[in-house]
Amino acid sequence: MKTTISSKTKKATINTDGPFVVIGEKINPTGRKKLAAALQEGNLDYVRELATKQIEAGADILDVNVGMAGTDDVEYLPKIVKVLVDEFDIPLCLDTPNPKALAAALPLVQGRVLINSVNGEEKSLEAVLPLVKEYNAAVIGLTIGEEGISNDPEVRLAAAAKIIERAGKLGIPAEDIVIDPLVMTVGADSNAGLTTLTTIELVKREFGVNVNLGASNVSFGLPERDVINTAFLGLAIGAGATCAITDPMKYTLSIRAIDLLRGRDGYGMRYLKYYRAHAPEKTEKS
Amino acid sequence: MKTTISSKTKKATINTDGPFVVIGEKINPTGRKKLAAALQEGNLDYVRELATKQIEAGADILDVNVGMAGTDDVEYLPKIVKVLVDEFDIPLCLDTPNPKALAAALPLVQGRVLINSVNGEEKSLEAVLPLVKEYNAAVIGLTIGEEGISNDPEVRLAAAAKIIERAGKLGIPAEDIVIDPLVMTVGADSNAGLTTLTTIELVKREFGVNVNLGASNVSFGLPERDVINTAFLGLAIGAGATCAITDPMKYTLSIRAIDLLRGRDGYGMRYLKYYRAHAPEKTEKS
Protein backbone atom coordinates (compact mmCIF):
# COMPACT_ATOMS: atom_id res chain seq x y z
CA MET A 1 0.00 0.00 0.00
CA LYS A 2 1.33 3.44 -0.92
CA THR A 3 0.85 6.82 0.73
CA THR A 4 2.17 9.54 -1.57
CA ILE A 5 3.18 12.97 -0.28
CA SER A 6 4.62 15.71 -2.47
CA SER A 7 6.16 19.17 -2.71
CA LYS A 8 6.44 21.38 -5.81
CA THR A 9 8.33 18.77 -7.82
CA LYS A 10 9.27 15.98 -5.39
CA LYS A 11 7.36 12.93 -4.29
CA ALA A 12 7.83 10.83 -1.18
CA THR A 13 6.10 7.46 -1.23
CA ILE A 14 5.56 5.63 2.04
CA ASN A 15 5.18 2.08 0.81
CA THR A 16 4.56 -1.16 2.66
CA ASP A 17 6.64 -2.91 -0.03
CA GLY A 18 9.33 -0.27 -0.44
CA PRO A 19 12.27 1.25 1.39
CA PHE A 20 11.70 2.95 4.73
CA VAL A 21 10.80 6.66 4.71
CA VAL A 22 12.58 9.14 6.99
CA ILE A 23 10.54 12.07 8.34
CA GLY A 24 12.99 14.59 9.81
CA GLU A 25 11.97 15.55 13.36
CA LYS A 26 14.29 18.48 14.05
CA ILE A 27 11.96 21.41 13.34
CA ASN A 28 10.36 21.07 16.75
CA PRO A 29 11.13 23.39 19.62
CA THR A 30 10.27 20.88 22.36
CA GLY A 31 13.46 20.49 24.31
CA ARG A 32 15.39 22.57 21.75
CA LYS A 33 16.04 25.97 23.29
CA LYS A 34 17.80 27.43 20.28
CA LEU A 35 14.85 26.87 17.94
CA ALA A 36 12.37 28.12 20.52
CA ALA A 37 14.39 31.31 21.02
CA ALA A 38 14.84 31.83 17.27
CA LEU A 39 11.09 31.47 16.65
CA GLN A 40 10.29 33.91 19.44
CA GLU A 41 12.63 36.47 17.88
CA GLY A 42 11.00 35.93 14.49
CA ASN A 43 14.33 34.62 13.17
CA LEU A 44 13.73 31.86 10.64
CA ASP A 45 17.38 31.26 9.69
CA TYR A 46 17.67 28.44 12.18
CA VAL A 47 14.64 26.77 10.59
CA ARG A 48 16.38 27.08 7.20
CA GLU A 49 19.53 25.52 8.65
CA LEU A 50 17.61 22.60 10.18
CA ALA A 51 15.80 22.00 6.87
CA THR A 52 19.03 22.03 4.87
CA LYS A 53 20.86 19.70 7.26
CA GLN A 54 18.04 17.19 7.43
CA ILE A 55 17.61 17.09 3.65
CA GLU A 56 21.36 16.51 3.25
CA ALA A 57 21.18 13.77 5.85
CA GLY A 58 18.53 11.87 3.93
CA ALA A 59 15.14 13.14 5.17
CA ASP A 60 12.40 12.29 2.67
CA ILE A 61 9.81 14.49 4.43
CA LEU A 62 10.21 17.26 7.03
CA ASP A 63 8.03 17.33 10.12
CA VAL A 64 7.11 20.87 11.18
CA ASN A 65 6.15 21.31 14.80
CA VAL A 66 6.04 24.72 16.45
CA GLY A 67 4.17 23.83 19.61
CA MET A 68 5.72 25.28 22.72
CA ALA A 69 4.57 27.05 25.84
CA GLY A 70 3.81 30.71 25.25
CA THR A 71 3.59 30.64 21.44
CA ASP A 72 0.73 30.38 19.09
CA ASP A 73 0.71 27.62 16.49
CA VAL A 74 -1.78 29.63 14.47
CA GLU A 75 0.82 32.37 14.07
CA TYR A 76 4.04 30.36 13.69
CA LEU A 77 3.02 27.29 11.68
CA PRO A 78 2.03 29.29 8.55
CA LYS A 79 5.21 31.40 8.82
CA ILE A 80 7.49 28.36 8.87
CA VAL A 81 5.51 26.53 6.21
CA LYS A 82 5.81 29.57 3.95
CA VAL A 83 9.61 29.64 4.28
CA LEU A 84 9.88 25.89 3.62
CA VAL A 85 7.53 26.00 0.61
CA ASP A 86 9.18 29.11 -0.90
CA GLU A 87 12.80 28.13 -0.36
CA PHE A 88 12.86 24.31 -0.35
CA ASP A 89 11.38 21.51 -2.39
CA ILE A 90 10.59 18.73 0.06
CA PRO A 91 7.27 17.22 1.16
CA LEU A 92 6.04 18.38 4.57
CA CYS A 93 4.38 16.87 7.59
CA LEU A 94 2.36 19.46 9.54
CA ASP A 95 2.62 18.51 13.18
CA THR A 96 0.12 20.23 15.41
CA PRO A 97 -2.80 19.23 17.61
CA ASN A 98 -4.46 22.56 16.74
CA PRO A 99 -6.97 22.40 13.84
CA LYS A 100 -6.90 26.21 13.56
CA ALA A 101 -3.16 26.15 12.93
CA LEU A 102 -3.69 23.45 10.28
CA ALA A 103 -6.43 25.51 8.63
CA ALA A 104 -4.09 28.50 8.51
CA ALA A 105 -1.10 26.56 7.12
CA LEU A 106 -2.75 24.17 4.65
CA PRO A 107 -3.58 26.79 1.98
CA LEU A 108 0.13 27.66 1.76
CA VAL A 109 1.34 24.16 0.87
CA GLN A 110 2.19 23.22 -2.70
CA GLY A 111 1.73 19.54 -3.46
CA ARG A 112 0.30 17.06 -0.98
CA VAL A 113 0.91 17.28 2.73
CA LEU A 114 0.93 14.73 5.56
CA ILE A 115 -1.09 15.96 8.54
CA ASN A 116 0.24 14.91 11.94
CA SER A 117 -2.19 13.99 13.42
CA VAL A 118 -5.69 12.80 14.06
CA ASN A 119 -6.60 10.37 16.84
CA GLY A 120 -9.58 8.19 17.70
CA GLU A 121 -11.31 10.74 19.93
CA GLU A 122 -14.53 12.23 18.53
CA LYS A 123 -13.27 15.75 18.99
CA SER A 124 -10.15 15.06 16.95
CA LEU A 125 -11.94 13.07 14.23
CA GLU A 126 -14.49 15.83 13.76
CA ALA A 127 -11.96 18.63 13.62
CA VAL A 128 -9.15 17.07 11.56
CA LEU A 129 -10.67 14.64 9.04
CA PRO A 130 -12.66 17.34 7.17
CA LEU A 131 -9.38 19.25 6.64
CA VAL A 132 -7.69 16.07 5.37
CA LYS A 133 -10.53 15.70 2.89
CA GLU A 134 -10.71 19.35 1.89
CA TYR A 135 -6.98 19.62 1.15
CA ASN A 136 -6.61 16.10 -0.28
CA ALA A 137 -3.97 15.40 2.35
CA ALA A 138 -2.75 12.21 3.97
CA VAL A 139 -2.91 11.88 7.75
CA ILE A 140 -1.15 10.16 10.64
CA GLY A 141 -3.66 8.43 12.91
CA LEU A 142 -2.57 8.04 16.52
CA THR A 143 -3.93 4.94 18.22
CA ILE A 144 -5.56 6.89 21.04
CA GLY A 145 -9.25 6.40 21.83
CA GLU A 146 -11.74 8.24 24.05
CA GLU A 147 -10.20 6.45 27.02
CA GLY A 148 -6.72 7.86 26.24
CA ILE A 149 -3.64 5.72 25.59
CA SER A 150 -4.15 2.05 26.36
CA ASN A 151 -1.40 -0.47 27.17
CA ASP A 152 -3.44 -3.13 25.39
CA PRO A 153 -2.46 -3.54 21.72
CA GLU A 154 -6.00 -4.68 20.87
CA VAL A 155 -7.40 -1.41 22.22
CA ARG A 156 -4.85 0.53 20.17
CA LEU A 157 -5.90 -1.51 17.14
CA ALA A 158 -9.53 -0.56 17.81
CA ALA A 159 -8.56 3.12 17.76
CA ALA A 160 -6.84 2.57 14.39
CA ALA A 161 -9.97 0.83 13.11
CA LYS A 162 -12.14 3.73 14.20
CA ILE A 163 -9.94 6.29 12.43
CA ILE A 164 -9.86 4.26 9.20
CA GLU A 165 -13.61 3.72 9.30
CA ARG A 166 -14.47 7.36 9.97
CA ALA A 167 -12.05 8.54 7.30
CA GLY A 168 -13.63 6.08 4.86
CA LYS A 169 -17.05 7.66 5.47
CA LEU A 170 -15.64 10.99 4.29
CA GLY A 171 -14.13 9.34 1.21
CA ILE A 172 -10.55 9.29 2.54
CA PRO A 173 -9.07 5.92 1.50
CA ALA A 174 -7.04 3.69 3.86
CA GLU A 175 -3.94 4.31 1.75
CA ASP A 176 -3.98 7.95 2.88
CA ILE A 177 -3.90 6.99 6.54
CA VAL A 178 -0.61 6.21 8.25
CA ILE A 179 -1.25 4.59 11.60
CA ASP A 180 1.00 5.52 14.53
CA PRO A 181 1.06 2.71 17.13
CA LEU A 182 2.44 5.05 19.83
CA VAL A 183 5.78 4.53 21.50
CA MET A 184 6.11 5.05 25.25
CA THR A 185 9.41 4.87 27.09
CA VAL A 186 10.67 1.47 28.23
CA GLY A 187 12.33 3.34 31.10
CA ALA A 188 8.91 3.78 32.72
CA ASP A 189 7.32 0.50 31.57
CA SER A 190 9.60 -2.31 30.42
CA ASN A 191 6.72 -3.77 28.38
CA ALA A 192 6.23 -0.55 26.42
CA GLY A 193 8.39 -1.67 23.47
CA LEU A 194 6.60 -4.99 23.17
CA THR A 195 3.22 -3.24 23.32
CA THR A 196 4.20 -1.06 20.35
CA LEU A 197 5.69 -3.96 18.37
CA THR A 198 2.56 -6.05 18.92
CA THR A 199 0.36 -3.12 17.86
CA ILE A 200 2.39 -2.75 14.65
CA GLU A 201 1.93 -6.45 13.85
CA LEU A 202 -1.81 -6.27 14.51
CA VAL A 203 -2.27 -3.14 12.38
CA LYS A 204 -0.23 -4.67 9.56
CA ARG A 205 -2.24 -7.90 9.64
CA GLU A 206 -5.67 -6.27 9.98
CA PHE A 207 -5.36 -3.31 7.65
CA GLY A 208 -2.09 -3.57 5.72
CA VAL A 209 -1.67 0.20 5.95
CA ASN A 210 1.48 2.22 6.38
CA VAL A 211 2.74 2.56 9.95
CA ASN A 212 4.64 5.51 11.42
CA LEU A 213 6.91 5.44 14.43
CA GLY A 214 7.81 8.29 16.76
CA ALA A 215 10.94 6.28 17.28
CA SER A 216 12.93 8.33 19.73
CA ASN A 217 10.50 8.35 22.67
CA VAL A 218 11.15 4.72 23.47
CA SER A 219 14.55 5.38 25.09
CA PHE A 220 13.62 8.49 27.08
CA GLY A 221 15.42 8.64 30.44
CA LEU A 222 17.77 5.74 29.69
CA PRO A 223 21.52 5.76 28.99
CA GLU A 224 22.89 5.15 25.46
CA ARG A 225 19.66 6.28 23.85
CA ASP A 226 21.07 5.91 20.32
CA VAL A 227 21.74 2.21 20.93
CA ILE A 228 18.16 1.65 22.07
CA ASN A 229 16.65 3.74 19.26
CA THR A 230 18.70 1.93 16.62
CA ALA A 231 17.71 -1.48 18.02
CA PHE A 232 14.07 -0.39 18.02
CA LEU A 233 14.19 0.67 14.39
CA GLY A 234 15.26 -2.87 13.38
CA LEU A 235 12.57 -4.51 15.48
CA ALA A 236 9.80 -2.09 14.45
CA ILE A 237 10.63 -2.13 10.73
CA GLY A 238 10.77 -5.92 10.84
CA ALA A 239 7.32 -5.89 12.47
CA GLY A 240 5.84 -3.62 9.78
CA ALA A 241 6.67 0.05 10.40
CA THR A 242 7.18 1.91 7.11
CA CYS A 243 8.20 5.43 8.18
CA ALA A 244 9.47 7.20 11.28
CA ILE A 245 9.64 10.73 12.61
CA THR A 246 13.25 10.64 13.67
CA ASP A 247 16.67 12.29 13.53
CA PRO A 248 18.04 11.78 9.99
CA MET A 249 21.58 12.74 11.03
CA LYS A 250 21.69 9.92 13.55
CA TYR A 251 19.65 7.12 12.05
CA THR A 252 19.59 7.25 8.25
CA LEU A 253 22.62 5.00 7.78
CA SER A 254 21.07 2.34 10.03
CA ILE A 255 17.79 2.68 8.14
CA ARG A 256 19.62 2.21 4.81
CA ALA A 257 21.29 -0.90 6.29
CA ILE A 258 17.89 -2.26 7.35
CA ASP A 259 16.48 -1.73 3.83
CA LEU A 260 19.50 -3.55 2.39
CA LEU A 261 19.12 -6.46 4.83
CA ARG A 262 15.43 -6.77 3.92
CA GLY A 263 16.17 -7.00 0.21
CA ARG A 264 14.81 -3.51 -0.51
CA ASP A 265 18.03 -1.99 -1.85
CA GLY A 266 19.19 -3.69 -5.05
CA TYR A 267 22.99 -4.08 -5.13
CA GLY A 268 23.14 -2.00 -1.93
CA MET A 269 23.22 1.14 -4.07
CA ARG A 270 21.36 3.39 -1.63
CA TYR A 271 23.40 2.17 1.33
CA LEU A 272 26.70 2.70 -0.45
CA LYS A 273 25.68 6.06 -1.87
CA TYR A 274 24.64 7.28 1.56
CA TYR A 275 27.82 5.97 3.13
CA ARG A 276 30.03 7.65 0.51
CA ALA A 277 28.23 10.98 0.83
CA HIS A 278 28.49 11.01 4.63
CA ALA A 279 31.63 9.03 5.46
CA PRO A 280 33.91 12.04 6.10
CA GLU A 281 31.46 13.53 8.60
CA LYS A 282 31.15 10.24 10.41
CA THR A 283 34.91 9.86 10.60
CA GLU A 284 35.25 13.31 12.15
CA LYS A 285 32.68 12.53 14.81
CA SER A 286 33.96 9.12 15.86
CA MET B 1 11.54 -24.26 23.66
CA LYS B 2 14.73 -24.50 25.71
CA THR B 3 18.21 -25.74 24.78
CA THR B 4 20.33 -26.01 27.92
CA ILE B 5 24.13 -25.99 27.82
CA SER B 6 26.33 -26.12 30.91
CA SER B 7 29.82 -26.00 32.39
CA LYS B 8 30.92 -27.19 35.84
CA THR B 9 28.44 -25.01 37.71
CA LYS B 10 26.92 -22.66 35.13
CA LYS B 11 23.98 -23.07 32.80
CA ALA B 12 23.18 -21.21 29.61
CA THR B 13 19.62 -21.60 28.38
CA ILE B 14 18.84 -20.74 24.78
CA ASN B 15 15.11 -20.11 25.00
CA THR B 16 12.56 -19.12 22.38
CA ASP B 17 10.71 -17.22 25.13
CA GLY B 18 13.72 -15.80 26.95
CA PRO B 19 16.47 -13.25 26.52
CA PHE B 20 18.91 -13.61 23.62
CA VAL B 21 22.03 -15.73 24.20
CA VAL B 22 25.49 -14.46 23.21
CA ILE B 23 28.02 -17.05 22.00
CA GLY B 24 31.46 -15.39 21.97
CA GLU B 25 33.15 -15.84 18.58
CA LYS B 26 36.67 -14.61 19.33
CA ILE B 27 38.47 -17.92 19.90
CA ASN B 28 38.79 -18.47 16.17
CA PRO B 29 42.01 -17.95 14.26
CA THR B 30 40.33 -17.24 10.92
CA GLY B 31 41.43 -13.72 10.08
CA ARG B 32 43.04 -13.29 13.50
CA LYS B 33 46.79 -13.52 13.05
CA LYS B 34 47.68 -13.11 16.69
CA LEU B 35 45.64 -16.13 17.79
CA ALA B 36 46.91 -18.24 14.90
CA ALA B 37 50.50 -17.40 15.80
CA ALA B 38 49.94 -18.03 19.52
CA LEU B 39 48.40 -21.44 18.82
CA GLN B 40 51.25 -22.41 16.55
CA GLU B 41 53.72 -21.53 19.29
CA GLY B 42 51.72 -23.58 21.79
CA ASN B 43 51.06 -20.40 23.76
CA LEU B 44 47.60 -20.55 25.31
CA ASP B 45 47.74 -17.25 27.19
CA TYR B 46 46.05 -15.44 24.35
CA VAL B 47 43.20 -17.96 24.50
CA ARG B 48 42.92 -17.23 28.25
CA GLU B 49 42.81 -13.51 27.52
CA LEU B 50 40.10 -13.91 24.86
CA ALA B 51 38.04 -16.08 27.20
CA THR B 52 38.32 -13.60 30.07
CA LYS B 53 37.45 -10.59 27.93
CA GLN B 54 34.44 -12.24 26.32
CA ILE B 55 33.04 -13.42 29.64
CA GLU B 56 33.41 -9.90 31.07
CA ALA B 57 31.69 -8.52 27.98
CA GLY B 58 28.62 -10.71 28.49
CA ALA B 59 29.25 -13.95 26.58
CA ASP B 60 26.94 -16.71 27.84
CA ILE B 61 28.79 -19.42 25.90
CA LEU B 62 32.24 -19.47 24.25
CA ASP B 63 32.68 -20.79 20.73
CA VAL B 64 35.98 -22.64 20.27
CA ASN B 65 37.25 -22.84 16.72
CA VAL B 66 40.85 -23.76 15.92
CA GLY B 67 40.51 -24.44 12.21
CA MET B 68 43.28 -22.90 10.15
CA ALA B 69 45.57 -23.86 7.34
CA GLY B 70 48.50 -25.95 8.53
CA THR B 71 47.16 -26.98 11.92
CA ASP B 72 45.36 -29.99 13.11
CA ASP B 73 42.02 -29.62 14.87
CA VAL B 74 42.55 -33.05 16.41
CA GLU B 75 45.61 -31.73 18.22
CA TYR B 76 44.54 -28.18 19.10
CA LEU B 77 40.85 -28.48 19.95
CA PRO B 78 41.41 -30.77 22.99
CA LYS B 79 44.28 -28.55 24.22
CA ILE B 80 42.17 -25.41 24.17
CA VAL B 81 39.11 -27.15 25.60
CA LYS B 82 41.25 -28.44 28.49
CA VAL B 83 42.45 -24.94 29.38
CA LEU B 84 38.92 -23.55 29.21
CA VAL B 85 37.45 -26.40 31.28
CA ASP B 86 40.24 -26.31 33.90
CA GLU B 87 40.51 -22.56 34.33
CA PHE B 88 37.07 -21.17 33.47
CA ASP B 89 33.47 -21.97 34.25
CA ILE B 90 31.49 -21.18 31.12
CA PRO B 91 29.56 -23.44 28.73
CA LEU B 92 31.34 -24.20 25.47
CA CYS B 93 30.47 -24.51 21.81
CA LEU B 94 32.88 -26.82 19.96
CA ASP B 95 33.23 -25.42 16.48
CA THR B 96 34.83 -27.81 14.00
CA PRO B 97 33.77 -29.63 10.85
CA ASN B 98 36.08 -32.50 11.88
CA PRO B 99 34.35 -35.36 13.74
CA LYS B 100 37.75 -36.70 14.89
CA ALA B 101 38.50 -33.42 16.62
CA LEU B 102 35.08 -33.55 18.27
CA ALA B 103 35.68 -37.13 19.40
CA ALA B 104 39.01 -36.07 20.93
CA ALA B 105 37.63 -32.99 22.70
CA LEU B 106 34.22 -34.19 23.92
CA PRO B 107 35.54 -36.47 26.72
CA LEU B 108 37.28 -33.44 28.29
CA VAL B 109 34.16 -31.32 28.69
CA GLN B 110 32.43 -31.01 32.03
CA GLY B 111 28.72 -30.33 31.75
CA ARG B 112 26.84 -30.17 28.48
CA VAL B 113 28.36 -28.87 25.29
CA LEU B 114 26.94 -27.34 22.13
CA ILE B 115 28.44 -28.93 19.01
CA ASN B 116 28.93 -26.60 16.05
CA SER B 117 27.89 -28.16 13.70
CA VAL B 118 26.05 -30.79 11.77
CA ASN B 119 24.44 -30.14 8.38
CA GLY B 120 21.91 -31.90 6.16
CA GLU B 121 24.45 -33.87 4.13
CA GLU B 122 24.50 -37.63 4.76
CA LYS B 123 28.18 -37.61 5.51
CA SER B 124 27.77 -34.99 8.22
CA LEU B 125 24.63 -36.52 9.72
CA GLU B 126 26.29 -39.93 9.98
CA ALA B 127 29.49 -38.62 11.53
CA VAL B 128 28.20 -35.99 13.94
CA LEU B 129 24.78 -37.08 15.25
CA PRO B 130 26.09 -40.24 16.97
CA LEU B 131 28.57 -38.05 18.90
CA VAL B 132 25.75 -35.69 19.89
CA LYS B 133 23.84 -38.70 21.21
CA GLU B 134 26.80 -40.38 22.92
CA TYR B 135 27.84 -37.25 24.81
CA ASN B 136 24.28 -35.99 25.45
CA ALA B 137 25.22 -32.76 23.71
CA ALA B 138 23.15 -30.16 21.87
CA VAL B 139 24.00 -29.35 18.27
CA ILE B 140 23.82 -26.50 15.77
CA GLY B 141 22.26 -27.67 12.50
CA LEU B 142 23.34 -25.73 9.42
CA THR B 143 20.65 -25.51 6.73
CA ILE B 144 22.86 -27.04 4.05
CA GLY B 145 21.67 -30.05 2.04
CA GLU B 146 23.34 -32.46 -0.39
CA GLU B 147 23.06 -29.73 -3.01
CA GLY B 148 25.05 -27.27 -0.88
CA ILE B 149 23.76 -23.87 0.19
CA SER B 150 20.51 -22.87 -1.49
CA ASN B 151 19.23 -19.32 -1.95
CA ASP B 152 15.70 -20.63 -1.54
CA PRO B 153 14.44 -20.40 2.07
CA GLU B 154 12.18 -23.43 1.47
CA VAL B 155 15.20 -25.54 0.52
CA ARG B 156 17.02 -24.37 3.64
CA LEU B 157 13.92 -25.27 5.65
CA ALA B 158 14.00 -28.75 4.11
CA ALA B 159 17.61 -29.19 5.29
CA ALA B 160 16.52 -28.18 8.81
CA ALA B 161 13.67 -30.69 8.62
CA LYS B 162 16.07 -33.45 7.59
CA ILE B 163 18.44 -32.73 10.49
CA ILE B 164 15.61 -32.64 13.04
CA GLU B 165 14.12 -35.86 11.65
CA ARG B 166 17.40 -37.77 11.57
CA ALA B 167 18.30 -36.59 15.06
CA GLY B 168 14.90 -37.72 16.27
CA LYS B 169 15.56 -41.23 15.00
CA LEU B 170 18.60 -41.38 17.26
CA GLY B 171 16.54 -40.12 20.21
CA ILE B 172 17.91 -36.56 20.09
CA PRO B 173 14.93 -34.26 20.75
CA ALA B 174 14.19 -31.12 18.72
CA GLU B 175 14.93 -28.97 21.78
CA ASP B 176 18.59 -30.02 21.54
CA ILE B 177 18.90 -28.79 17.96
CA VAL B 178 19.61 -25.15 17.25
CA ILE B 179 19.01 -24.41 13.58
CA ASP B 180 21.39 -22.04 11.80
CA PRO B 181 19.66 -20.43 8.80
CA LEU B 182 23.03 -19.39 7.26
CA VAL B 183 23.97 -15.78 6.64
CA MET B 184 25.70 -14.83 3.41
CA THR B 185 27.00 -11.36 2.69
CA VAL B 186 24.61 -8.76 1.28
CA GLY B 187 27.65 -7.26 -0.43
CA ALA B 188 27.63 -10.17 -2.90
CA ASP B 189 23.86 -10.71 -3.08
CA SER B 190 21.57 -7.93 -1.93
CA ASN B 191 18.81 -10.48 -1.27
CA ALA B 192 21.00 -12.51 1.11
CA GLY B 193 19.65 -10.82 4.26
CA LEU B 194 16.04 -11.35 3.22
CA THR B 195 16.76 -15.00 2.44
CA THR B 196 18.09 -15.54 5.97
CA LEU B 197 15.24 -13.60 7.61
CA THR B 198 12.66 -15.59 5.65
CA THR B 199 14.39 -18.86 6.61
CA ILE B 200 14.27 -17.86 10.29
CA GLU B 201 10.53 -17.16 10.04
CA LEU B 202 9.89 -20.49 8.31
CA VAL B 203 11.94 -22.47 10.84
CA LYS B 204 10.22 -20.71 13.74
CA ARG B 205 6.76 -21.39 12.32
CA GLU B 206 7.40 -25.00 11.28
CA PHE B 207 9.47 -26.28 14.19
CA GLY B 208 9.51 -23.65 16.94
CA VAL B 209 13.13 -24.55 17.70
CA ASN B 210 15.97 -22.29 18.74
CA VAL B 211 17.75 -20.46 15.91
CA ASN B 212 21.40 -19.43 15.82
CA LEU B 213 22.90 -16.66 13.75
CA GLY B 214 26.48 -16.33 12.51
CA ALA B 215 25.66 -12.66 12.55
CA SER B 216 28.84 -11.00 11.34
CA ASN B 217 29.11 -12.57 7.88
CA VAL B 218 26.23 -10.53 6.55
CA SER B 219 28.26 -7.31 6.26
CA PHE B 220 31.47 -8.79 4.85
CA GLY B 221 33.14 -6.46 2.35
CA LEU B 222 30.90 -3.47 3.10
CA PRO B 223 31.72 -0.24 4.93
CA GLU B 224 30.43 0.42 8.47
CA ARG B 225 30.06 -3.27 9.20
CA ASP B 226 29.01 -2.64 12.82
CA VAL B 227 26.03 -0.60 11.64
CA ILE B 228 24.89 -3.41 9.34
CA ASN B 229 25.51 -6.13 11.93
CA THR B 230 23.60 -4.22 14.60
CA ALA B 231 20.68 -3.62 12.24
CA PHE B 232 20.67 -7.31 11.34
CA LEU B 233 20.53 -8.38 14.98
CA GLY B 234 17.31 -6.40 15.46
CA LEU B 235 15.71 -7.81 12.31
CA ALA B 236 16.84 -11.40 12.94
CA ILE B 237 15.87 -11.47 16.62
CA GLY B 238 12.49 -9.98 15.72
CA ALA B 239 12.09 -12.77 13.15
CA GLY B 240 12.91 -15.52 15.67
CA ALA B 241 16.67 -15.90 16.17
CA THR B 242 17.46 -16.81 19.79
CA CYS B 243 21.28 -16.88 19.91
CA ALA B 244 24.23 -15.66 17.84
CA ILE B 245 27.90 -16.44 17.46
CA THR B 246 29.12 -12.88 17.60
CA ASP B 247 31.51 -10.37 19.16
CA PRO B 248 30.32 -9.76 22.74
CA MET B 249 32.50 -6.65 23.09
CA LYS B 250 30.74 -4.98 20.18
CA TYR B 251 27.17 -6.19 20.29
CA THR B 252 26.07 -7.14 23.81
CA LEU B 253 24.71 -3.70 24.69
CA SER B 254 22.57 -3.68 21.52
CA ILE B 255 21.39 -7.20 22.33
CA ARG B 256 20.41 -6.12 25.86
CA ALA B 257 18.51 -3.18 24.32
CA ILE B 258 16.67 -5.57 21.99
CA ASP B 259 15.67 -7.81 24.92
CA LEU B 260 14.39 -4.76 26.78
CA LEU B 261 12.40 -3.55 23.76
CA ARG B 262 10.81 -6.99 23.37
CA GLY B 263 9.64 -7.08 27.00
CA ARG B 264 12.24 -9.68 27.99
CA ASP B 265 14.08 -7.59 30.57
CA GLY B 266 11.87 -6.66 33.52
CA TYR B 267 12.49 -3.07 34.69
CA GLY B 268 15.43 -2.96 32.24
CA MET B 269 17.64 -4.47 34.96
CA ARG B 270 19.96 -6.39 32.63
CA TYR B 271 20.32 -3.45 30.24
CA LEU B 272 21.14 -1.03 33.04
CA LYS B 273 23.47 -3.46 34.81
CA TYR B 274 25.39 -4.06 31.59
CA TYR B 275 25.55 -0.36 30.83
CA ARG B 276 26.84 0.46 34.32
CA ALA B 277 29.49 -2.25 34.22
CA HIS B 278 30.78 -1.16 30.81
CA ALA B 279 30.07 2.57 30.63
CA PRO B 280 33.60 3.76 31.52
CA GLU B 281 35.15 1.61 28.77
CA LYS B 282 32.65 2.87 26.24
CA THR B 283 33.31 6.48 27.20
CA GLU B 284 37.03 6.02 26.70
CA LYS B 285 36.53 4.58 23.23
CA SER B 286 34.09 7.15 21.90
Quick: pLDDT tens for B4-59.
999 999 999 999 999 999 999 999 988 778 888 888 888 899 999 999 999 999 99
Closest CA of chain B from A225, distance in Å: 10
| B241 touches A at CB < 8 Å | no
Please tell me the distance in Å from A26's CA to the nearest CA on chain B.
23
Predicted local distance difference test score (pLDDT) of residue A70: 60
B261/A194 Cβ within 8 A: yes
Question: Least CB-CB distance to A231: which of B195, B239, B258?
Answer: B258
Average pLDDT over residues B74-90: 94
Calculate what percentage of chain B has a pLDDT beyond 90.
86
Q: Is A242 helix (H, G, I), strand (E, B) or coil?
A: coil
pLDDT, position B188: 93
Nearest residue to A51 (alpha-carbon basis) of A86, A6, A21, A16: A86
| Nearest CA distance, A272 vs chain B (angstrom) | 8
The mean pLDDT value for B178-207 works out to 97
SS3 A171: coil
B190 CB within 8 Å of a chain A CB: yes
Residue among A17, A183, A189, A190 with most chain B CBs within 10 A, to mutate: A190
Q: For residue A285, is pLDDT > 50? A: no
- Does a cis peptide bond (omega within 30 degrees of 0) precede residue A190? no
- In angstroms, the Cα distances linking B15 to A216, B9, B234, B241, B285 are 29, 19, 17, 10, 33
Residue A89: predicted pLDDT: 98
Q: Is the pLDDT reported for residue B199 higher than 60?
A: yes
SS3 state of residue B223: coil
Cβ separation B234–A239 shorter than 8 A: no
Q: E strands within chain A?
A: 2-6, 11-15, 21-27, 61-64, 92-95, 114-119, 138-142, 177-180, 210-213, 243-246
Task: Return the H-helix or E-strand segment holding B118.
Answer: strand B114-119
pLDDT, mean over chain B: 94
Q: What is the mean pLDDT of residues A207-217?
A: 91
Q: Tell me: pLDDT of A72 over 80.
A: no
Burial class, B205, CB count within 10 angstroms (exposed 0-12 / middle 13-18 / buried 19+): exposed
Give the DSSP letter of residue A145: B
Mutation for A interface: B20, B190, B259, most A CBs within 10 A: B190
Contact B238 A234 (CB under 8 A): yes
Tell me the HSE value of A150 on the side-chain side, using a 13 A CA sphere.
Answer: 19
**Least-confidence region, from A195-199, B33-37, B128-132, B254-258:** B33-37
| Residue-level pLDDT at B286 | 40
> Is B230 part of the contact surface with chain A (CB cutoff 8 Å)?
yes
- Partners of A267 on chain B (C-beta within 8 Å) are 190
Looking at residue A129, its pLDDT comes to: 98
CA distance B183 to B81: 27
Give the 3-state secondary structure of residue B180. Answer: strand
| Contact flag B235-A190 (C-beta cutoff 8 Å) | no
Residue B131 has pLDDT above 90, yes or no: yes
In B, which residues are within 8 Å of A223 by CB distance? 272, 275, 279
Q: Regarding predicted confidence, which is higher, B41 or A149?
A: A149
Q: Do A235 and B262 touch (CB under 8 A)?
A: yes
pLDDT of residue B281: 56
Chain B residue with the nearest C-alpha to that of A270: B190
Query: What's the pTM?
Result: 0.95
Query: CA nearest A250 in B: which residue?
Result: B227
Instruction: Give the chain A residue nearest B237 (alpha carbons).
Output: A235
Of the pLDDT bands very low, low, confident and very high (cuts 50, 70, 90), residue B69 is: low
Q: A76-80: long-range contacts (C-beta < 8 A, 24 or more apart)? A: A76/A39, A77/A101, A77/A102, A77/A104, A77/A105, A78/A104, A78/A105, A78/A108, A79/A44, A80/A27, A80/A39, A80/A44, A80/A47
- Contact, B18 vs B210, CB < 8 A? no
**Which chain B positions have a beta carbon within 8 Å of A258's beta carbon?**
231, 234-235
Residue of B nearest to A251 (CA): B227
A163 alpha-carbon distance from chain centroid: 17
